[in-house]
Amino acid sequence: MYTVEHEHNVSIVTSLDQEDMFEDVEFIVGTDESVVYIRQYDESMNEDQIVFMSIQQWQDIMAAWNSPEGAFYLKLKMEERHNGTSST
């Protein structure tokens, strides 16, 4: 299960583990879309664990999901950046 929330300065996608084995994972993008981060609560440390990355890194990760082994450069067309689609 996942939820999507749009606030005035961020969008948050939260993934909940349906088997209840792992804590929720939040994917957060600011309105400027230059930095994204993934956050998950770590009960043993009693704090959130956070990974910061650029939007380009996130797009690479998403494109890699369907890629064979190798090294790749992802090139998005300008209109794809603005409407959220990709042909790659």
Rounded distance between C-alpha atoms, residue 6 and residue 1, angstroms: 17
Is 88 domain-assigned?
no
Determine, yes or no, domain membership for 18. Answer: yes
Q: How many domains are contained in the chain?
A: 1
Which domain covers residue 10, as residue numbers? 2-83
- pLDDT at 36 (0 to 100): 94
pTM: 0.74
pLDDT for 84 equals 54
29-87 pLDDT, tens digit per residue, is 987 778 899 999 999 999 999 999 998 899 999 999 999 999 999 987 755 545 555 55
Q: Is residue 79 part of a domain?
A: yes
Strand, helix or coil for residue 71: coil
CA distance 79 to 33: 15
